[in-house]
């Protein structure tokens, strides 16, 4: 039997082949290398049991219990490994566990036994997490797109991405639109840990493409439950900012289009979450609040909506370099503006 290679994070990333995370399902759900397949050696309960035995009775007893648990699973695990490789049996099978120790090593032994080509990540997922956090300490050529809720910033970013511009969709990666209503109609949010993993991979792709500018939306330090890494957020605060302004009517129309299909209960709960900020009168009687939407009063768009808010928005610590007033969702105008700023 050939001892599987244990590669540094840099070499491991350059190696092609399916990526398999052998940690327990709970650890995988908390955070994993994006794109990895979970083929756990232990269930969450089994992992806890082996860990407890290790602490209370020592390494040898823990290994014995681990062998007893995994022995009956070997045939299923072998089939799982072969399914991961599928028809491309010549590619490497990249395996990792928490520290690059016995769990990934055991499955590497099994993979080699059925003539696969396993390679291990030196240091395991812990090494990958160090790599992730290091991405945010690097200097990135960030450009921010700002604007009030309903100005269509995400649509504009995605339009830029379709034109080949380097874009980081902070809200898309977080599965949240960033407001009290931002989680409506979206998949469950990832943990902050997994959000960081996804964000680091997008930034790395921008680096490989030698992006001269990377556009992202001006956000607070949190997108729903997900925290933007502090080092990256600090760079965002120092980055040039392009503010998009649209009329209040256009913003209302956009918000109705985005949230209008959500149910009464979801809209009511989202509104009540910000009721202290709005005050009771604004929460229940404003003509543009969700009650009007869900009671079917929206077929005719409101034309006389008043607001006491200021006409501009400030982002603390961020300088507004350019203001672009867009009548309608004119993505091409933003693109032309970006090229001129070059």
**CA-to-CA distance for 217 and 335, rounded, in angstroms?**
15
Say what the pLDDT of residue 334 is.
46
Q: Which domains, and CATH codes, for the chain?
A: 5-131 (3.40.250.10), 138-341 (3.40.50)
Say what the pLDDT of residue 8 is.
96
Say what the pLDDT of residue 314 is.
42
DSSP 292-315: HHHTT--SSPPS-----S-SS---
Give the Cα-Cα-Cα angle 157, 159, 161 (nearest 5 degrees).
70
Q: Are 215 and 157 in contact (CB under 8 A)?
A: yes
**Catalytic center residues:** 97
Say what the pLDDT of residue 281 is.
64
Hey, what are 161's tokens?
Answer: 């991405």
**CA-to-CA distance for 188 and 174, rounded, in angstroms?**
9
CA torsion, points 223, 187, 156, 224, in degrees to nearest 10?
-10
Say what the pLDDT of residue 258 is.
73
Nearest to 259 by CA among 226, 294, 304, 296: 294
Residue ranges with strand state E in the chain = 5-7, 19-21, 37-38, 93-96, 118-121, 142-146, 167-168, 214-217, 222-223, 226-227, 241-245, 320-325
Q: Are 228 and 236 in contact (CB under 8 A)?
A: yes
Q: Which distant-in-sequence residues (6+ apart) come within 8 Å of 112 by Cβ? A: 1, 2, 4, 118
Tens digits of pLDDT across the chain (342 residues): 556 789 999 999 999 999 999 999 999 999 999 999 999 999 999 999 999 999 999 999 999 999 999 999 999 999 999 999 876 667 899 999 999 999 999 999 999 999 999 999 999 999 999 999 999 999 999 999 988 888 888 888 989 999 999 999 999 999 888 776 666 667 889 999 999 999 999 999 999 999 999 999 998 898 989 999 999 999 999 999 988 888 888 887 877 777 767 666 777 776 677 666 666 666 565 544 544 444 443 333 333 333 323 233 444 444 444 555 555 444 444 444 443 333
């Amino acid at each position: 039997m050939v001892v599987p290679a244990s590669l540094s994070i840099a070499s491991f990333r350059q190696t092609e082949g399916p990526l398999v995370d052998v940690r327990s399902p709970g650890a995988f759900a908390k955070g994993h290398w994006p794109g990895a397949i979970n083929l756990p050696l232990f269930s969450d309960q089994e992992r806890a049991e082996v860990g407890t035995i290790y602490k209370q009775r020592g390494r040898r007893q823990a290994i014995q219990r681990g062998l007893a648990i995994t022995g009956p699973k070997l045939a299923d695990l072998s089939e799982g490994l072969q399914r991961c490789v599928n028809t491309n049996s010549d590619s490497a099978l990249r395996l990792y566990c928490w520290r690059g120790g016995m769990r990934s090593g055991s499955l590497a032994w099994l993979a080699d036994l059925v003539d696969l080509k396993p390679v291990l990540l030196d240091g395991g997922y812990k090494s990958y997490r160090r790599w992730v956090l290091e991405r945010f300490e690097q200097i990135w050529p960030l450009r921010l797109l700002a604007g009030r809720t309903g100005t269509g910033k995400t649509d504009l970013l995605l339009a830029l991405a379709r034109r080949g511009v380097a874009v980081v969709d902070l809200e898309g990666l977080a599965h949240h639109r960033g407001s009290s209503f931002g989680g409506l109609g979206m998949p469950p949010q990832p943990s902050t840990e997994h959000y960081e993993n996804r964000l680091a991979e997008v930034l790395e792709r921008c680096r490989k493409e030698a992006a001269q500018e990377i556009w992202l939306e001006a956000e607070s330090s949190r997108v729903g439950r997900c925290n933007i890494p502090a080092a990256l957020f600090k760079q965002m605060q120092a980055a040039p900012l392009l503010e998009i302004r649209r009329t209040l009517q256009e913003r209302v129309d956009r918000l109705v289009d985005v949230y209008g299909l959500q149910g009464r209960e979801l809209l009511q709960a989202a509104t009540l979450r910000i009721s202290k900020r709005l005050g009771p009168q604004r929460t229940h009687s404003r003509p543009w609040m969700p009650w009007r939407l869900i009671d079917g009063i929206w077929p005719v768009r409101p034309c006389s909506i008043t607001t006491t808010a200021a006409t501009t928005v400030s982002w603390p610590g961020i300088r507004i370099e350019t203001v672009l007033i867009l009548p309608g969702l004119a993505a091409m105008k933003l693109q032309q503006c970006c090229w001129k700023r070059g």
